[in-house]
Structure 1
Amino acid sequence: MTLLDLTPRAATGSRLATLPVVIIGAGPIGLAAAANLAERGIRFVVLEAGGEAASAVRLWGHTRLFSPWRHLIDPASRRLLEDAGWTAPIDEGRAPTGRELVDEYLAPLAELDDIRPHIRYGARVLAVAREGMDRTRTAGRDATPFLVRMLAGEGQVEELTGRAVIDASGTYRTPNPLGSSGLDPVGATDVEDLVVHALPDVLGADRARFAGRHTTVVGAGHSAANTLIALAELVETEPGTRVTWLIRNASAVRVSSSADDELADRARLGSRVDRLVADGVVDKIDSFEISTLRGNGDGVRLAGTRRGQTVTHDADIVVSATGFRPDLGMLREVRLQLDDIVEAPVRLAPLIDPNLHSCGTVTPHGFDELRHPESGFFLVGMKSYGRAPTFLLATGYEQVRSVVAWLDGDMRAATEVQLTLPATGVCSTGLGEGSCCS
């Protein structure tokens, strides 16, 4: 099947009909969007900032996901893969690591003849707009192609046009700041070499950085819990290793055990951390509101307030596991309609509010909940959830199935949104697409 010779079937203007759908990101959701478009014979191009597919997932590949294989494979992607002779993992009830997810599923998917020629690696999207129109111009807007500007090979700025844009770029590279105000703590740039991104490979590639040192993990989600468990193992084998867990709330309810959680690995994670705290392996400090960071000898001093009192805490190294937020700067010229609180599409936000919903209680949703005033533009995957940490890959797969059906003019398929998610008591990711909570 040669996609470049096919014309999209959606009802579009004559010029738009000649242009591809632009997908931003070649992670699990971006590749699923590509698979759905390929099945329907709709031209597309995937722009991936990294040098290979699922580059963000590879960064935390040592971490085991919560969901088993049966919840991690997109149906359209499975069909294309099986047609090419691929065999699914034997035990689909087992939860793989991120690396296994890439090696056994995402990398083969990206190499399919229907997908590989249409991925541009090393293409970092800088901005999305309408061709020749800023966001204030309305006349003829819906019939005007999208313009996507990117930083491509050898640092060259390039532009391409598309009939629609599916932004599946995730949130992994835009973490929440350590400051409880939502801003970077004062002085953060002075000690940035001592603050580590979420989910470092403590027992593998990053071992030397943590062995024999005092690490403070900041965050109350499952990414923090995974790191705490790895550091606790390091304590047993590397003399002088110490671990502190710092959270801003009175308790870490997101990693608490839940008897009704169908994702057993997630339920066990909370109980393991509770046990480490009870045994004194991990020193837990709650209600700590960080306001400043500064150097302290070879380490870092965190300062702030705790129950109304000014406090400080010293560590050799800090792991920032405070969650993630969407990069909206690249979308300044796109007409978005986002919730004021979680920064998700306004129709989706009430369905994913982390104060009311867990991963398993999110209502199935599709193109209608993901629509913006900018017709043909969609945020999907973890980025569509804004700051809400309740995303599962299965949810993102259903999102892109519905969006692609809408782009194809297949309203019946687009509106028949169905999805069965694992029941869960609490949920948090702290990650982008394909996270440890997927």
Structure 2
Amino acid sequence: MNAPTAELPVVVIGAGPAGLAAAAHLVDRGLTPLVLEAGPAAGTTVREWSHVRLFSTWAEVVDPAAEKLLAPTGWTRPDPAAYPSGGDWAEQYLQPLADALGDRVRLGATVTGVSRAGRDRIVDADREAQPFVVHISDADGREERIVARAVIDASGTWTTPSPAGADGLPALGEKAAADHITYRIPDLEDPAVRARYVGRRTAVIGSGASAFTALVHLAELAKSDDGAGSKALWVLRRGISGSTFGGGTADQLPARGALGLAAKAAVDEGHADAVTGFRAETIERRADGRLVLAGEDGRRLEPVDEVIVLTGFRPDLSFLSEVRLNLDERLQAPVALAPLIDPNQHSCGTVYPHGHRELSHPEQDFYVVGMKSYGRAPTFLAMTGYEQVRSVVAAVAGDLEAADRVELILPETGVCGGAGLFDESEADTSGGGCCAPAPQLVQLGAPAAVTATAGAEEAPAGGCCSA
């Protein structure tokens, strides 16, 4: 890298957990970060799920370099054994970290494009010697062009949730029914939001931790003084087996195991009916305003009042069209990382800790980190993102020894099976791996609650390796 380019800042896209941690690591190495955040505050997307409690403790969601940067400010580290909510994480860690970074964080700056100076994605000549150019716009639509020595995209996937349609496209009628559909876990402590679900029948589509959380919250609503008539319908694209609810007491993240058990209890206690092997094709609005979900197999479920779609997220690659990326054709994750996280191949054990080599692209000094690096894969832990940015920043600084060093051990769930196995039974994974033989199908609640009858009108983030 020529001298003028080396003096430029490293642009970090997104002031979330991974982005701010990347900035802290850059500062620690004497490099200048410039964090561009589209929202009005640090951790804007985290604040949108402020009511949801993490299944990781404070010890697992504070980056070491960030803590080092915060220490001189008088910041008090929260109890390492406590479990923060999204709001706690934003207010007690992300905001103080952004404050410590000062004017190296720019709010209200939406990245609209990334490229090389004077080079579109076609041009080879002298490409790597050119700095990056990052185009942004502010809340008033004013445009600006920033020059950078490297770019770290930590923008996440929150703004691009996956639809209800099982084919990856919106179900027919999904857009027209948008006023009764949400793609987030609703905050039932908010009176206005609560009124939308109390006494209503709500479909929850999804099978990961977010779906578990929604089911638990709806069960608590049904048991509350004002919750009479509240009922959940859990819609799964695969069957229910012993691995459906995660690791339980065997999970090395106890709160994650407890969440799965609480979701199971919501079904067992009759607060939620489960429909398995259902792949939504159409969402029909009836004359009375209620919604009917119709499946690819012809089944039509009993009408519901609201639908919560929690089928995962996908990366927004629209502003990276002039950057040379090497992405897996299915997961939209870096090709070297994809085999480690592919839910179709997910097995027991841990996702191998990874860094700059797995995250690199043909565009030198450009990296996608954090949740976005996983593309469409469903599971991610903050500590994985922190290890990613530690390695990436070391590589940008030219310290390949540190960049190649592994400094992370991930927890295991203790359960086999993958999110890619969504049919009525799980694949047999006995005969190898870390876990017991493949779990057997289990019966939950009354038999009629488990599946819908063909033709009748009846009412994430899986796998054992969270990363």
TM value normalised by structure 2: 0.85
CA offset at residue 50 of structure 1? Answer: 0.6
Question: 1:149 is paired with a residue of what secondary structure?
Answer: strand
- When structure 1 is superposed on structure 2, of 41-50 and 125-134 the one drifting more is 125-134
The answer to whether the 8 Å contact 1:36/1:401 transfers is: yes
Q: Which residue of 1 aligns with 2:159?
A: 173
Question: 2:175 is paired with a residue of what secondary structure?
Answer: helix
Question: 2:393 is paired with a residue of what secondary structure?
Answer: helix
Cα distance change, pair 68–358 in 1 and its aligned pair in 2 (3 A): farther
Q: Which residue of 2 aligns with 1:363?
A: 352
Q: CA-atom RMSD, angstroms?
A: 1.8
The answer to whether the 8 Å contact 1:260/1:425 transfers is: yes
Which residue among 29, 43, 49 is the counterpart of 1:60?
49
CA offset at residue 355 of structure 1? Answer: 3.7
Q: Which residue of 2 aligns with 1:303?
A: 294
Cα distance change, pair 337–359 in 1 and its aligned pair in 2 (3 A): farther
State the alpha-carbon separation in 2 of the partners of residues 37 and 358 from structure 1.
35
Q: Which residue of 2 aligns with 1:405?
A: 394
State the alpha-carbon separation in 1 of the partners of residues 188 and 129 from structure 2.
51
The answer to whether the 8 Å contact 1:198/1:224 transfers is: no
Which residue among 116, 125, 132 is the counterpart of 1:139?
125
Matched ranges for 1:9-20 at <5 A: 12-20=1-9
Which residue among 301, 305, 328 is the counterpart of 1:316?
305
Q: Which residue of 1 aligns with 2:272?
A: 282
Residues 388-422 of structure 1, C-alpha deviations (whole Å, 9 max, x = no match): 12211101101101111111111111111220122
Does residue 228 (structure 1) correspond to residue 215 (structure 2)? The answer is: yes
CA offset at residue 207 of structure 1? Answer: 1.2
Residues 208-245 of structure 1, C-alpha deviations (whole Å, 9 max, x = no match): 22112111111011101101111111112222222111
Cα distance change, pair 202–359 in 1 and its aligned pair in 2 (3 A): farther
Cα distance change, pair 294–150 in 1 and its aligned pair in 2 (3 A): farther
The answer to whether the 8 Å contact 1:128/1:146 transfers is: yes
What residue identity is the alignment partner of 1:235?
Answer: A
Q: Which residue of 2 aligns with 1:103?
A: 91
The answer to whether the 8 Å contact 1:216/1:319 transfers is: yes
State the alpha-carbon separation in 2 of the partners of residues 107 and 337 from structure 1.
33
Does residue 336 (structure 1) correspond to residue 325 (structure 2)? The answer is: yes
Residues 241-296 of structure 1, C-alpha deviations (whole Å, 9 max, x = no match): 22111111112745334342111111111111112212211111111111112322
Which residue among 132, 137, 140 is the counterpart of 1:154?
140
State the alpha-carbon separation in 2 of the partners of residues 35 and 358 from structure 1.
34
Cα distance change, pair 62–409 in 1 and its aligned pair in 2 (3 A): same
Question: 1:126 is paired with a residue of what secondary structure?
Answer: strand
Cα distance change, pair 295–20 in 1 and its aligned pair in 2 (3 A): same
State the alpha-carbon separation in 2 of the partners of residues 382 and 159 from structure 1.
26
State the alpha-carbon separation in 2 of the partners of residues 111 and 255 from structure 1.
39
- When structure 1 is superposed on structure 2, of 280-289 and 147-156 the one drifting more is 147-156
CA offset at residue 84 of structure 1? Answer: 2.1
State the alpha-carbon separation in 2 of the partners of residues 208 and 167 from structure 1.
38
The answer to whether the 8 Å contact 2:116/2:131 transfers is: yes
State the alpha-carbon separation in 2 of the partners of residues 162 and 21 from structure 1.
6
Residues 335-373 of structure 1, C-alpha deviations (whole Å, 9 max, x = no match): 100112211101111112224447960111111111000
Matched ranges for 1:182-197 at <5 A: 182-197=168-183
CA offset at residue 87 of structure 1? Answer: 2.0
Question: 1:154 is paired with a residue of what secondary structure?
Answer: coil
Matched ranges for 1:227-246 at <5 A: 227-237=214-224, 238-246=227-235
State the alpha-carbon separation in 2 of the partners of residues 359 and 163 from structure 1.
40
Q: Which residue of 2 aligns with 1:117?
A: 103
What residue identity is the alignment partner of 1:288?
Answer: F
State the alpha-carbon separation in 2 of the partners of residues 182 and 189 from structure 1.
14
Count how many residue pairs are aligned between Structure 1 and Structure 2: 416
What residue identity is the alignment partner of 1:111?
Answer: D
- When structure 1 is superposed on structure 2, of 244-253 and 355-364 the one drifting more is 355-364
Does residue 129 (structure 1) correspond to residue 115 (structure 2)? The answer is: yes
Which residue among 194, 205, 213 is the counterpart of 1:207?
194
Cα distance change, pair 329–147 in 1 and its aligned pair in 2 (3 A): same
Cα distance change, pair 148–360 in 1 and its aligned pair in 2 (3 A): farther
Cα distance change, pair 256–405 in 1 and its aligned pair in 2 (3 A): closer
What residue identity is the alignment partner of 1:236?
Answer: K
Q: Which residue of 1 aligns with 2:440?
A: none
Q: Which residue of 1 aligns with 2:251?
A: 261
Matched ranges for 1:22-101 at <5 A: 22-90=11-79, 92-101=80-89
State the alpha-carbon separation in 2 of the partners of residues 354 and 390 from structure 1.
9
State the alpha-carbon separation in 2 of the partners of residues 257 and 415 from structure 1.
31
Question: 2:23 is paired with a residue of what secondary structure?
Answer: helix
State the alpha-carbon separation in 1 of the partners of residues 354 and 223 from structure 2.
46
- When structure 1 is superposed on structure 2, of 172-181 and 247-256 the one drifting more is 247-256
Which residue among 277, 283, 290 is the counterpart of 1:293?
283
Cα distance change, pair 360–169 in 1 and its aligned pair in 2 (3 A): farther
Question: 1:418 is paired with a residue of what secondary structure?
Answer: coil
State the alpha-carbon separation in 2 of the partners of residues 18 and 349 from structure 1.
33
Q: Which residue of 2 aligns with 1:273?
A: 263
The answer to whether the 8 Å contact 2:14/2:155 transfers is: yes
Cα distance change, pair 37–60 in 1 and its aligned pair in 2 (3 A): same
TM value normalised by structure 1: 0.91
State the alpha-carbon separation in 2 of the partners of residues 153 and 17 from structure 1.
30
State the alpha-carbon separation in 2 of the partners of residues 281 and 420 from structure 1.
38
CA offset at residue 156 of structure 1? Answer: 1.8
- When structure 1 is superposed on structure 2, of 370-379 and 140-149 the one drifting more is 140-149
CA offset at residue 125 of structure 1? Answer: 1.3
What residue identity is the alignment partner of 2:169?
Answer: L
